[in-house]
Amino acid sequence: SSREAVTVIGLGSMGSTMARTFVAAGHPTTVWNRTPGKADGLGAVPAATAAEAVAASKVVVISQVDYGAMFESLADADLQGRVLFNLSSDSPERLRKATEWVAERGGTLVTGGIMVPPPGIGQPGSYVFYAGSEEAVAAHQPTLEVLGRVDHVGTDPGQAMLYYQAMLNIFWATLISYFYSATLVGNAEQLRPYVATMLTDLAEDGPMGFLRILTTALDTGTHEGGDNNLHMQAVGAEHVVQAFTEAGLDVTVPGAVAALFARADAAGYGADGLSALVDLIRKPN
Ligand code: NDP
């Protein structure tokens, strides 16, 4: 095979799918998982120990619960000349420490945040935020592309998780707000088309294209209030909370939004636009 050898460490939902995807793409693939038996049926070569798995390939892709699992798994492994692509979730600071940990053992760590669930791995639309050595990413780009598009976002190892967590925050906040609103209405299917239109309109250019409009505001620091200022929105957000309260529902998320608006209003941002909230985000209460 002209495809380079790959080792996959961690065979949970993500890692096992990655291993299967590398095998399907013709990569000689070696795998290891803490709990034995998970290599069955993947079509990859199971290694008896993590150290043996690392010895089998220069490229090591890791997908475990967090970086603590890597510290445990690879404590005795020789990482000399190895390039580790760890696609596990953890905090940016942990990724920086992990980069030093791997370097002390002679290896190179590239951190990554993979932006799809298991069925999306290697499928159109799949992509991974990578951070750390740009050379290492470039050198193994064809291999990495088997998992999805390769987006190198910075040499600071923390950047991959920063982008990953930035996107997760939007994913969760958007969908959870939908759960709240669908529960308030009592019929999700009734509400869904309105939500779908709003999400599309927000992302496109037009009078409702607030993603681009407010991006300009964020980047220039000018937050025009106009006839839809923060004070008015703070009052409106309080009415949203009241609607949930009257319906006997939880108000954690709408209440948090209303509290942020109220804090902005009290701090003197009432006449400004929605994007003035970034000043409060930069100054935690
Ligand atoms: P799973 O829970 O399915 O798998 C976790 C893996 O971590 C298992 O292989 C487990 O081994 C291993 N593990 C846990 N603790 C240790 C340890 N102390 N030492 C060695 N191995 C350990 O998780 P996923 O596959 O879903 O997720 C893997 C990573 O990918 C996570 O960081 C997750 O946040 C991230 N991710 C997940 C997505 C998803 O949709 N699932 C999407 C994007 C990223 P064992 O079998 O022995 O328990």
- 208-221 pLDDT tens trace: 999 999 999 999 99
Residue 96 counted as domain residue: yes
The Cα-based distances of 149 to 29, 122, 126, 145 in angstroms read 20, 9, 6, 5
> What residue's CA is closest to ligand 1, atom 20?
69
Query: Coil, strand or helix: which one is 278?
Result: helix
pLDDT bracket for residue 186 (50, 70, 90): very high
Whether pLDDT at 249 is above 80 = yes
Q: What is the DSSP letter of 275?
A: G
d(CA 132, CA 284): 29
> What residue's CA is closest to ligand 1, atom 39?
117
In a shared domain, residues 51 and 188: no
Query: Which positions ≥6 away from 136 have C-beta within 8 Å?
Result: 83, 108, 110
In a shared domain, residues 116 and 39: yes
Whether pLDDT at 121 is above 80 = yes
Q: Is 36 in the pocket of ligand 1 (CB under 6 A)?
A: no
Q: HSE-up of 238 (CA within 13 Å, CB side)? A: 9
Residue 218 counted as domain residue: yes
Whether pLDDT at 47 is above 80 = yes
246 or 224, which is more confident: 246
Question: Strand order of the sheet with strand 45-46?
Answer: 45-46, 29-32, 6-9, 59-62, 83-86, 108-114, 127-132, 149-154
Sign of the CA dihedral with 262 first, then 263, 264, and 270 last = positive
Q: Which of 104, 135, 163 is the last residue of a domain?
A: 163
Crossing angle (nearest 10°) for helices 159-185 and 92-104 = 150
What integer is the mean pLDDT of 246-267?
97
In a shared domain, residues 119 and 176: no
Q: Is 270 in the pocket of ligand 1 (CB under 6 A)?
A: no
The Cα-based distances of 145 to 16, 124, 195 in angstroms read 17, 11, 33
| d(CA 117, ligand 1 centre) in Å | 12
In a shared domain, residues 89 and 24: yes
Q: Is 98 in the pocket of ligand 1 (CB under 6 A)?
A: no
Residue 156 counted as domain residue: yes
d(CA 157, CA 101): 12
In a shared domain, residues 108 and 213: no
Domain count, the chain: 2
Q: Which of 120, 138, 163 is the last residue of a domain?
A: 163
In a shared domain, residues 64 and 194: no
Q: Give the CATH number for residue 210.
A: 1.10.1040.10
In a shared domain, residues 12 and 36: yes
Q: Is 50 in the pocket of ligand 1 (CB under 6 A)?
A: no
Mutate to test the pocket of ligand 1, among 33, 65, 70, 88 (most ligand atoms within 8 A of CB): 65
In a shared domain, residues 154 and 15: yes
* Average pLDDT over the chain, rounded to an integer: 97
Domain that holds residue 51: 6-163
In a shared domain, residues 149 and 258: no
Residue 15 counted as domain residue: yes
In a shared domain, residues 189 and 158: no
Whether pLDDT at 147 is above 90 = yes
Whether pLDDT at 284 is above 90 = no
Is there a contact between 172 and 232 (Cβ–Cβ < 8 Å)? Answer: no
pLDDT one-digit tens code per residue, 88-103: 999 999 999 999 999 9
> What residue's CA is closest to ligand 1, atom 4?
12
Whether pLDDT at 174 is above 70 = yes
The Cα-based distances of 179 to 183, 273, 282 in angstroms read 6, 26, 28
What integer is the mean pLDDT of 169-194?
98
Q: Give the CATH number for residue 111.
A: 3.40.50.720
Residue 81 counted as domain residue: yes
pLDDT bracket for residue 268 (50, 70, 90): very high
Residue 1 counted as domain residue: no
pLDDT computed for residue 1 by the predictor:
60
Q: Is 13 in the pocket of ligand 1 (CB under 6 A)?
A: yes
pLDDT one-digit tens code per residue, 188-245: 999 999 999 999 999 999 999 999 999 999 999 999 988 889 999 999 999 999 999 9
| d(CA 69, ligand 1 centre) in Å | 9
DSSP structure string for 89-150: ---HHHHHHHHHHHHHTT-EEEEEEE-S-GGGTTSTT-EEEEEE-HHHHHHTHHHHTTTSEE
What integer is the mean pLDDT of 50-57?
98
Mutate to test the pocket of ligand 1, among 64, 73, 114, 169 (most ligand atoms within 8 A of CB): 64
pLDDT computed for residue 285 by the predictor:
81
Percent of the chain with pLDDT over 70: 100
The stretches of the chain forming alpha helices (DSSP H) are: 13-24, 50-56, 67-73, 92-104, 134-139, 141-144, 159-185, 188-203, 210-220, 230-246, 252-264, 278-282
Residue 199 counted as domain residue: yes
Q: Which of 115, 136, 163 is the last residue of a domain?
A: 163
Is there a contact between 74 and 68 (Cβ–Cβ < 8 Å)? Answer: no
In a shared domain, residues 193 and 151: no
Residue 273 counted as domain residue: yes
In a shared domain, residues 255 and 124: no
pLDDT computed for residue 120 by the predictor:
98
Is there a contact between 63 and 10 (Cβ–Cβ < 8 Å)? Answer: yes
d(CA 226, CA 24): 56
